Amino acid sequence: MTAIQTALKAPAAPAFDVERIRADFPILKLEIGGKPLVYLDNAASSQMPQPVINRLVRYQTTQHANVNRGVHYLSETATSAYEEARGKVQRFMNAREDREVIFTSGTTDAINLVMHGYGRKFIEPGDEIILTTLEHHSNIVPWQMLAEEKGAKIRVVPINDSGELLIDEYEKLFNARTKFVGITHVSNALGTINPVKRMIAFAHAHGVPVLVDGAQAVPHMKVDVQDLDCDFYAFSGHKLCGPTGIGVLYGNAALLERMQPFKGGGDMILSVTFEKTTYNTIPHKFEAGTPPIAAAIGLGAAIDYLSAIGMDAIGAHESDLLEYATEQMNRLRGVRIIGTAAKKAAVLSFAIDGVHPHDVGTLLNQDGIAVRTGHHCAQPVMQRFRVPATSRASFAFYNSMAEVEALITGIRTVQKVFA
């Protein structure tokens, strides 16, 4: 029995029993060079609980065949499990219909799908695309490629010293040439939670569609695409306790139907002759070739797992971790937190005076602590704060207060080595 099932049967148990949750994650029992693993690189990729691993094993051992093809038992079983996963994603994001959920290989693939499917069809020379300083490279580079191809222009929303978007500046960027907006829901480098609902409403008032990069938001908070009223929403499975190689693009059905396919191949067609090909209906129009079936089913299992704990409970625990870590880190002399927005997800980017982030990362690793060091694929953010790189601790719901303390002790050790 998993901790979650146990927890569900014990309503009188404490609201959030992190030790019971940790017991579900086999990898958290690892030791790194004799030290217990303290995994604080969740913004890069999260770990997988046993129920999700078990689901993958069950699929692979008893249900696998290609989908949407054979009339045989296994193909029907695999197809139904794959489509069931789509339904789970639909309910998780509160999409109107399951055909608005497209399986991709990840957030990057989902954004590229929108760039090719929507951007290449509808963006014209002289048009403007609004992005923000906080974007991950994956929500910058595809749009730069499009801008170059079409002769369009990228406009960038600036941030303040806390790492918050300047909404007045965002609103001032709109004009008759504005044709598309791409915003990250949560900054991967700083943790800033952006006011996307308000930004979407403003863009819609100007008739401009909005894509939200939700890679760092979906694992930490309840996301309701109807409430946000976004046109596109992208996220990755592996940051959500699911497998790598799977991601989701939510798209408004009316927009998806007007878009051109991104990839051509099997499954995305209704009929093919050398004279003319008729494309399949959504979502299949955008899922050419054999999809990542096992990974999609694994993502469905991860959503079940997270939903059983509850996204609100997850958010509350992570917020406690962030508050404690921030308070502890603020007490360390010579340590500066980069990104101090009023609304943040559990991400702490920091700089230690006189110590390069790569040395910080290598030394923390010696205490079994995994953090990310580097530019976090967000070089515009680094340039804004005039640092080449930062160290970043990013928390998940399975992290404990003891791990926050291990991080603080680890930072003190780094400072001693470099004293």
The smaller minimum CB distance to other proteins, of residues 30 and 417, is found at 417
Q: Any contact of residue 388 with other proteins (CB under 8 A)?
A: yes
- From CA 207, how far away is CA 332, in angstroms rounded? 48
Using a 10 angstrom Cβ sphere, with 0-12 exposed, 13-18 middle and 19 or more buried, the burial of residue 68 is: middle
Piece in contact with other proteins (CB under 8 A), picked from 82-90, 187-195, 244-252, 375-383 = 375-383
CB of 144 vs other proteins, minimal distance in Å: 17
Distances, alpha carbon 107 to alpha carbons 31, 221, 273, 296, 339, in Å = 31, 17, 33, 14, 23
The smaller minimum CB distance to other proteins, of residues 349 and 399, is found at 349
- 125: preceding bond cis by omega (within 30 degrees): no
Q: Any contact of residue 150 with other proteins (CB under 8 A)?
A: no
377 is catalytic: yes
Are the C-beta atoms of 191 and 339 separated by less than 8 Å? Answer: yes
Q: Any contact of residue 107 with other proteins (CB under 8 A)?
A: no
- From CA 336, how far away is CA 322, in angstroms rounded? 15
Q: Any contact of residue 418 with other proteins (CB under 8 A)?
A: yes
> According to CB under 8 A, which one of 99, 116, 375, 392 is a site residue for other proteins?
375
> According to CB under 8 A, which one of 18, 389, 396, 404 is a site residue for other proteins?
389
The smaller minimum CB distance to other proteins, of residues 285 and 392, is found at 392
Q: What are phi and psi of 135, to 5 degrees?
A: -65, 145
For residue 273 the two structure tokens come to 């002759």
Positions 334 through 363 that interact with other proteins (CB under 8 A):
355-359, 362-363
> According to CB under 8 A, which one of 216, 328, 373, 399 is a site residue for other proteins?
373
The smaller minimum CB distance to other proteins, of residues 307 and 365, is found at 365
The smaller minimum CB distance to other proteins, of residues 8 and 417, is found at 417
> According to CB under 8 A, which one of 310, 377, 385, 405 is a site residue for other proteins?
377
Q: How many CB atoms lie within 10 A of CB 399?
A: 25
Distances, alpha carbon 396 to alpha carbons 77, 86, 134, 234, in Å = 33, 24, 21, 20
CB of 164 vs other proteins, minimal distance in Å: 24
Distances, alpha carbon 145 to alpha carbons 129, 138, 151, 255, in Å = 12, 11, 10, 22
Q: How many CA atoms lie within 13 A of 275 on its CB side?
A: 0
CB of 297 vs other proteins, minimal distance in Å: 29
The smaller minimum CB distance to other proteins, of residues 339 and 361, is found at 361
- From CA 4, how far away is CA 52, in angstroms rounded? 12
> According to CB under 8 A, which one of 45, 277, 365, 400 is a site residue for other proteins?
365
Looking at residue 247, its amino acid is: G
**Lookup result for tokens 């999609």:** 296
Are the C-beta atoms of 338 and 349 separated by less than 8 Å? Answer: yes
Site string for other proteins, 201-240 (x = CB under 8 A): ----------------------------------------
> According to CB under 8 A, which one of 6, 50, 319, 366 is a site residue for other proteins?
366
The smaller minimum CB distance to other proteins, of residues 47 and 390, is found at 390
- From CA 370, how far away is CA 354, in angstroms rounded? 21
CB of 157 vs other proteins, minimal distance in Å: 24
> What strands lie across the sheet with 335-338, from one edge to the other?
335-338, 347-352, 390-394, 372-374
Q: Which of 255, 377, 387, 401 is catalytic?
A: 377
Positions 122 through 141 that interact with other proteins (CB under 8 A):
none
Site string for other proteins, 23-62 (x = CB under 8 A): ----------x-----------------------------
The smaller minimum CB distance to other proteins, of residues 375 and 384, is found at 375
Show which residues are catalytic: 377
What residues make contact with other proteins under the rule CB under 8 A?
A: 33, 355-359, 362-363, 365-366, 373-375, 377, 382, 388-389, 417-418
